[in-house]
Amino acid sequence: MKLRRPRSLKWSLVLRIAILQCVMLTLIIAGIIGAMLATGIIPHDYEDGTMDVLADAVTRDANGALVLKENSDLTKLRSDVPDLWFVIRDKDGHRLQEGTVPVAYQPFVELLDNISDARIDLAIGEAAPPGGKIRWTDTAAGNVQIMSGTKGGLSLLRVLGQAPALFLQGILPLAGLMALATLFATPWVVRGALSGLGNAARAAEQIDIDKRGVQLPLDGVPKEVTPLVTAVNAALSRLDAGYERHKRFLTDAAHELRTPVAILNTRLAALPATPERARLLQDAARLSTLADQLLDLQRLDRQAEHFGPVDLVLLARNVVVDLAPMAFAAGYEMAFEPAKEKLTVRGDRTAIERAVTNLVQNAIDHGGKAGRITISVSPPAVIEVLDEGDGVPASERERIFEPFYRLHPQDHGAGLGLNLVRDLMQLHGGKVEVLDGKQGGACFRMIFPA
């Protein structure tokens, strides 16, 4: 299933606000025009009603003469203005005239060649509207000059017909300017409004399995997002509680295992020395190790608080002494090769000792039951555990550090040992890696900060 790309809040707001502004401007302008039409303001002041109707109706016949094409607006104009008069002419001398030009305006008819646009009225001063008008205008018959009265009204259909032009030439540019302002203002507004959410996101990035009790801050978070942050905090609290229950269970289980394992080891030690006894002792040792590993898991959280100087040479020598009998019983030789008499790092002695012990036990379990197991310590702060077994394929060298991972189906797995080694090395700021051994087999290298 393909996940949808998350939408940008900024661009979503810009788009919606721009559309809303465009709609609001259209409604406002339409409302203003509607109110002016309803109250009669526009018809009272409008003086081009007759000329508009004539300009729409004028055309040419087959001979090129000017004629009027009858339409509903022209019919209505003739009905509303019984004494309709007009003169229409072009620059080629064609002329169309209807009605009787008022006597007061007849002198202007003779002067049309010398008049471009004019408002004519008998009253002194500016009349609204004037008695007559003269104007050149573009029509279906071309550019013509019209002289007529001004008694025609404003057609609602004509107003509606101009709406697209009004939208494109007036509303759309204004809406574009407002959208441009919104484009620059919205990111600033969004960034300020969601600054608290950014703090919560940064706090969420710090959440880790080793850091419990973390809660996302609510300071500055918008109240619309507060329920989400509160729900996340509640979920984190439930996870912390579940993790604590899990920790208590592992600790209790590990402690409960130690007593029967100790009893089992005591009884096995009392048996006669046979190969079967040796195998049972190895199995009991693995069971004891698993219990110790479960306890080590619970100690990880507290390690960094108790770091001190640790001598890696002395620590590794103690591990060799403790595990040599088990290695010999399993058919191995053991060697200890320190490059220096003393090599000190800061850390938790018990944790590092457990990590080295886990690597040696892993070599005993998976080294082929033959050859030599070598523990070396070298500067600046490196411990290596080498065996002469089959080694670890390069493709599996990361996965073997997963809990209970089996390199081969018939293996009993590494339990938690290698996983603990990796976690303990990370806790100490170092790392563990797997290489090819010098004599074949595997080389587990623990690298500590110098």
Q: Which amino acid, one-letter code, is at 448?
A: F
Q: What CA dihedral angle connects 224, 228, 229 and 235, to 10 degrees?
A: 160
CA angle in degrees (0–180, nearest 5) for 386-390-396: 90
Q: Which amino acid, one-letter code, is at 151?
A: K
How confident is the model at residue 444, as a pLDDT?
92
Scanning the structure block, which residue is given the tokens 């484009």?
A: 183
Q: How many residues does the chain have?
A: 450
Scanning the structure block, which residue is given the tokens 């219990």?
A: 291
**Mean pLDDT in order along the chain per 10 residues (450 residues):** 59 72 74 66 67 90 91 87 91 90 88 88 70 90 91 61 62 72 70 71 74 77 80 86 76 74 80 80 74 66 70 93 88 90 89 88 84 91 89 80 64 63 85 84 89
HEC assignment per residue over 382-444: EEEEECCCCCCCHHHCCHHHCCCCCCCCCCCCCCCHHHHHHHHHHHCCCEEEEEECECECEEE
d(C-alpha 270, C-alpha 384), whole Å: 35
Count CB neighbours of 132 within 10 A. 24
Q: How far is CA 398 from the centre of its chain?
A: 31
Contacts of residue 367, defined as CB under 8 A and 6 or more positions apart, other chains included, come to 332, 373, 387, 388, 389, 441
Q: Which pTM value belongs to this model?
A: 0.47
Q: Is the torsion defined by CA of 174, 177, 179, 181 positive or negative?
A: negative
Q: How far is CA 181 from the centre of its chain?
A: 24
Q: Is 450 exposed, middle or buried (0-12, 13-18, 19+ CB in 10 A)?
A: exposed
Closest C-alpha to 227, from 238, 216, 213, 212: 216
d(C-alpha 434, C-alpha 394), whole Å: 9
Scanning the structure block, which residue is given the tokens 């465009």?
A: 22
Q: What backbone phi and psi angles, to 5 degrees, belong to 22? A: -65, -45
How confident is the model at residue 1, as a pLDDT?
47
Closest C-alpha to 139, from 76, 101, 96, 106: 96
Q: Are 159 and 187 in contact (CB under 8 A)?
A: no
Indicate the SS3 state at residue 249.
helix
Closest C-alpha to 278, from 369, 376, 169, 186: 369
How confident is the model at residue 66, as a pLDDT?
93
- Maximal CA-CA distance, the chain: 147
